[in-house]
Structure 1
Amino acid sequence: MDTKSTSEMDHKLLNASWPGKETDKPRGWVAATKERPLRIGIPNRATFVEYVTEDHGTHEIQGYCIDVFNASLRFVPYDVPHRFIPFGDGKSNPSYDELVRMVSEDVFDAAVGDITIITNRTRIADFTQPYAANGLVIVIPNRNSNSGAWVFLKPFTAEMWGVTAAFFLVIGLVIWILEHRINDDFRGPPRRQFITMILFSLSTLFKTNQVDTISTLGRMVMMVWLFVLMVITSSYTASLTSILTIQQLSSPITGMDSLIASNLPIGYQVGSFVGSYLTDSLNIAKSRLVVLESPEDYAEKLSLGPTNGGVAAVVDELPYVKLFLSDRKDFGIVGDMITKNGWGFVFKRGSPLAMDLSTAILRLSESEDLKKIGDKWFCKDGCEAGRHVSDPNQLHLDSFWGLFLLCGSVTLTALIIFLVKTVRQFVRYKKKQRDLMSQYSSATSSTRCAQAVYSFFDFIDEKEEAIKKMFKQYEDPPSIAV
């Protein structure tokens, strides 16, 4: 065969096709093909479903772990056809050890979910680089120390203190307005009136008023205000008593050492490796361990306490605990993290996908996409760094807004009635004054308006008794001799 014929045959050769009709050179391990996609087992969780579960309505596999896996695949330099297969009935959390074992026995090609990387599991399967930091922590009822020079401020939140102080000032001002025209105790030089107003308002807290209210409207406002004060002071006293005595109820658990030595019952999540870790690694008796089905069980058993059929503490992985504490402020973490590990994706031994996905996870983390996925699932209402957590024994404004609304409504109504009554009285006074002295009026309209405004404030400042004398004088003018 000559050179020309050989050249023509070379031009007719097609690209090499590998098994599965793939054009890329194989890597020595067939990961998956479109005809045989990767079989990925996922834990069908019943609790903490934000991480991974199957939607019972649409049968869609969703969760934080699923989004991380799908995002990581974008950084893998080849296509990985796959299908998710739920493991578990969705009514209780499945055994994660069993899921990893099924990967090692070729029931699944891989497993994706909130699967913790621990020694026993790495002996039978390969894990990727951790995509979420993890570790065991201890949760106990939140019993903060409440001693200190300013402990008396703790029964109320800052908002509650602010609104209460504002109402003291408002009530004092309104009572001064209602009593100023008829009560000599609220008259005098401006400085004396101001001091009287402030002292009267504060003295209502101790119900030792040295100044009495005379007007009907003033007494009505005081009756409602004293009722509000009675409820507030009673609640304050009860809360302060609880805060000062709560130290006697504090949990004796300060960390893992005290938890082991206490011989108190310990709760852990069903399906978790925590139970075997506590018994095998820390030599805690199985009789002390209590399996908990849900976050509601956590809260119930911790609230009951070890003496009432509950538990002294719950040991669980940090991501679950963070989600549990996100809307429960009466529990908290105590001590240091017991273990330091992470969550990873599981593959059969020798699978190149474990290495490639590890590289992809690192790139995903560097691009900040990993953080965005976390914000999507766990910061739907906004994540605030260093969010303030109030003491569970504090009284919030939400508990008293009805009382403040009632008091504010009555006070505003009394003030409006007083102003309407005074304005009508002022109009009558000006009308009579104008009728008797119209022949002496030569001021312009704008001047009369300015005088009327000035006269109105003078009129309010005048004693009610003097105003009545003025009306009597205008109604019975002295006779003029002819």
Structure 2
Amino acid sequence: MGLLTGSFSADRRRGEKEKEVEDGFSRAEIGAGDDAAGSLLGGKKLIIGLPKKTGFTQFVDVQLNTTNVNQIVKVSGYSIDVFHAAITYLESLRYNISFEFRAFVDEDGNSAGNYDELVYQVFEGKYDAVVGDVSILAYRSNYVDFTLPYAPSDVKMLVKVRHDPRLNMWVFVRPFSWDLWLSITIFSVFIGAIITLMERTVKEDSACKNSPYKKQLSGVSILWLPVEQAVLPEREALVKNCSRFVLVMWLILAFMLMQSYTASLSSILTINQLQPRYVSEHDVIIDPNINVGYHRYSFVEGLLVDRLRIDRSRVKNYPDIKEYREALDKGSRKGGVDAIFDHISHIKIFLKQYGSNYAMVETRHRIDGFAFAFPMGSNLTAYFSRAILNVRESEEMDKIEQKYFGRNHEDYEGQGLSTSSSPDDASSSLTTYSFAGLFMAIGILSLLALTVSESHIWQKPVMLANSYSRRLLISWNFARTSPLEGGSAARRNVDGEGLTTRESNQNIGLEVENI
């Protein structure tokens, strides 16, 4: 059988239909008798075609008799259980459905063709339906009818991950951007200068003997103090309450910076170091030195060769996930592949088993999912579609999925990396803007603490201003005494009230000197 990747000619379909009429058998007659309760088939038995798979047997696993390949010993799998659940639902509506499974194999017990050829057997009348991980495709709908999908299935790309080349001996500086490192250094010097300035006037008394900052400002003390207190904070090292307040503010900032640094570095050393080698399918398509793979017997070959225009010499097929892994590990240079295109369901199964060094990358190819195939015009399609809807909305579907894929079947891509963006988007460093509000708040509070602690610095000009204002006020009062009232009387009045103007000025001078 040849590879079928498109629709069949109208003449061939017309000839097949004429042959069916001559033989007295019509595809639509498979669903005859559905008006009678208890039968959808009019006493006929459904012949169900099954794919013979060597890989991804979680969907369909057919075991044949070793002596008679036409005899099936056991059938299991996700698709089979969904089909049985649909049959059970129809039987609950009092419909009796008789069916028989037949594997699509050759004389040696191997698969007789790809999925296109299997589905076409329904059109030719060999099978009354096909059950399996059969994708709903437009060209297949030209000769069969599909039920509603029982499982979603898009085409994704599977690639190996690469370690981030930027992870070198200087990786420890990457959590923070250069401007944040500079801001931390400047702010550290700022805090050290404030604390050292406030502690410089500590006296040599019993209450202050524990302070190591009983000396003048120095570059070493300014730079070393914040670092020392952030690593080994000592409350007794500082005497003034304002200094301790500034130290607490600095420790809060240092704690938040250290926590953010740890989280960012952990992310860089774990998740962000594993980036897909190719972040889009375009990178793979345009490079003639890259080989690509797909699941054997899948329609993806036609997608790669016909739609994406990839040279057939670059396209390779593999039957199971074990060979997927071997091919990806070899790479194109050693005869393997650098990317594999397959159903998302197949890739999730792969990632569940080998997800640590592989990634799933988004593509632009969409399909409707997996479904069962019936002859065109068969009313069984509608019945099974309704059955699938009811099964999917029931707890039975959850049990089936957990049985074959585990509890977290929707999150298999979490084992790898599902991405369509560049690696730089996920590993950006923290910037000064991320902590700008914290820097401003702590800086303002530190300056207020400095203002309170060093009150004697600004009290002197305040007292000077008060003294000079008093002097000006006395001079102004003296100038208001008019000669008409008598100089001596005025002088006596002034003396009677207190000091003379000259004496007042002398006292003001003494006050200024004392300041």
TM-score normalised per structure 2: 0.49
- Checking the alignment, whether the CA contact within 8 Å between 1:279 and 1:285 is kept in structure 2 is yes
Equivalent of 1:136, from 133, 147, 155? 155
Equivalent of 2:98, from 73, 81, 106? 81
- Checking the alignment, whether the CA contact within 8 Å between 2:33 and 2:42 is kept in structure 1 is no
The structural deviation recorded for 1:371 is 2.1
The count of aligned residue pairs is 279
Match of 1:290 in 2: 316
- Checking the alignment, whether the CA contact within 8 Å between 1:268 and 1:314 is kept in structure 2 is yes
Aligned AA for 2:86? S
Note the alpha carbon deviations across 1:237-278, whole angstroms, 9 max, x for none.
Answer: xxxxxx89x98x976522122221112111111100000111
- Checking the alignment, whether the CA contact within 8 Å between 1:138 and 1:333 is kept in structure 2 is yes
Unpaired segments of 5 or more residues in structure 2? 1-28, 66-71, 174-268, 418-515
Find the aligned partners of 1:140 and 1:256 in 2 and give their Cα distance. Answer: 10
The structural deviation recorded for 1:386 is 8.2
Aligned AA for 1:272? S
Find the aligned partners of 2:97 and 2:136 in 1 and give their Cα distance. Answer: 23
Equivalent of 2:285, from 243, 256, 260? 260
Match of 2:349 in 1: 323
Match of 2:381 in 1: 354
Match of 2:61 in 1: 53
Q: Kindly indicate whether residue 46 of structure 2 is the aligned counterpart of residue 32 of structure 1.
A: no
Unpaired segments of 5 or more residues in structure 1? 1-18, 154-242, 392-482
Find the aligned partners of 2:311 and 2:34 in 1 and give their Cα distance. Answer: 55
Note the alpha carbon deviations across 1:127-155, whole angstroms, 9 max, x for none.
Answer: 000000001110111225375799569xx
Secondary structure at 1:55's aligned position in 2? strand
CA RMSD across the alignment: 3.7
Greater Cα offset, 368-377 or 110-119: 368-377
Aligned AA for 2:343? E
Note the alpha carbon deviations across 1:403-458, whole angstroms, 9 max, x for none.
Answer: xxxxxxxxxxxxxxxxxxxxxxxxxxxxxxxxxxxxxxxxxxxxxxxxxxxxxxxx
Q: Given the superposition, is the C-alpha separation of residues 151 and 83 from structure 1 closer, same or farther in structure 2, using an over 3 Å criterion?
A: farther
The structural deviation recorded for 1:56 is 4.2
- Checking the alignment, whether the CA contact within 8 Å between 2:161 and 2:277 is kept in structure 1 is no
Find the aligned partners of 1:260 and 1:390 in 2 and give their Cα distance. Answer: 22
- Checking the alignment, whether the CA contact within 8 Å between 1:39 and 1:84 is kept in structure 2 is yes
- Checking the alignment, whether the CA contact within 8 Å between 2:359 and 2:413 is kept in structure 1 is no
Aligned pairs for 1:293-372 (under 5 A) are 293-328=319-354, 329-336=356-363, 338-372=365-399
Q: Given the superposition, is the C-alpha separation of residues 148 and 274 from structure 1 closer, same or farther in structure 2, using an over 3 Å criterion?
A: same
Match of 1:62 in 2: 76
Q: Given the superposition, is the C-alpha separation of residues 348 and 309 from structure 1 closer, same or farther in structure 2, using an over 3 Å criterion?
A: same
Greater Cα offset, 256-265 or 60-69: 256-265
Q: Given the superposition, is the C-alpha separation of residues 151 and 335 from structure 1 closer, same or farther in structure 2, using an over 3 Å criterion?
A: farther
Aligned pairs for 1:13-32 (under 5 A) are 25-26=35-36, 31-32=40-41
Q: Given the superposition, is the C-alpha separation of residues 64 and 94 from structure 1 closer, same or farther in structure 2, using an over 3 Å criterion?
A: farther
The structural deviation recorded for 1:336 is 3.7
The structural deviation recorded for 1:53 is 2.1
Find the aligned partners of 2:367 and 2:111 in 1 and give their Cα distance. Answer: 26
Find the aligned partners of 2:36 and 2:397 in 1 and give their Cα distance. Answer: 30
Find the aligned partners of 2:88 and 2:328 in 1 and give their Cα distance. Answer: 43
Q: Given the superposition, is the C-alpha separation of residues 252 and 376 from structure 1 closer, same or farther in structure 2, using an over 3 Å criterion?
A: closer
Match of 2:507 in 1: none
TM-score normalised per structure 1: 0.52
Note the alpha carbon deviations across 1:94-121, whole angstroms, 9 max, x for none.
Answer: 4110111100111101010000000111
Aligned AA for 2:152? A
- Checking the alignment, whether the CA contact within 8 Å between 2:328 and 2:337 is kept in structure 1 is yes
Aligned AA for 1:128? T
Greater Cα offset, 142-151 or 49-58: 142-151
Note the alpha carbon deviations across 1:218-255, whole angstroms, 9 max, x for none.
Answer: xxxxxxxxxxxxxxxxxxxxxxxxx89x98x9765221
Match of 2:260 in 1: none
Q: Given the superposition, is the C-alpha separation of residues 289 and 331 from structure 1 closer, same or farther in structure 2, using an over 3 Å criterion?
A: same
Aligned pairs for 1:404-423 (under 5 A) are none
Find the aligned partners of 1:317 and 1:384 in 2 and give their Cα distance. Answer: 14
Match of 1:42 in 2: 50
Find the aligned partners of 2:137 and 2:116 in 1 and give their Cα distance. Answer: 10
Aligned AA for 1:32? L
Find the aligned partners of 1:119 and 1:387 in 2 and give their Cα distance. Answer: 27
Find the aligned partners of 2:416 and 2:151 in 1 and give their Cα distance. Answer: 28
Q: Given the superposition, is the C-alpha separation of residues 60 and 337 from structure 1 closer, same or farther in structure 2, using an over 3 Å criterion?
A: farther
The structural deviation recorded for 1:125 is 0.3
Question: Larger Rg: 1 or 2?
Answer: 2
Note the alpha carbon deviations across 1:366-399, whole angstroms, 9 max, x for none.
Answer: 113222211111118x7696897599xxxxxxxx
Find the aligned partners of 1:93 and 1:135 in 2 and give their Cα distance. Answer: 25
Aligned AA for 1:375? Q
Q: Given the superposition, is the C-alpha separation of residues 369 and 250 from structure 1 closer, same or farther in structure 2, using an over 3 Å criterion?
A: closer
Note the alpha carbon deviations across 1:280-325, whole angstroms, 9 max, x for none.
Answer: 2222221211121221211111111111111110111111111111
Q: Kindly indicate whether residue 284 of structure 2 is the aligned counterpart of residue 276 of structure 1.
A: no
The structural deviation recorded for 1:92 is 5.3
Aligned pairs for 1:50-449 (under 5 A) are 50-56=58-64, 59-76=73-90, 77=93, 78-88=95-105, 91=110, 94-143=113-162, 145=164, 147=166, 252-263=277-288, 264-328=290-354, 329-336=356-363, 338-379=365-406, 389=415
- Checking the alignment, whether the CA contact within 8 Å between 2:154 and 2:366 is kept in structure 1 is yes
Q: Given the superposition, is the C-alpha separation of residues 44 and 322 from structure 1 closer, same or farther in structure 2, using an over 3 Å criterion?
A: same
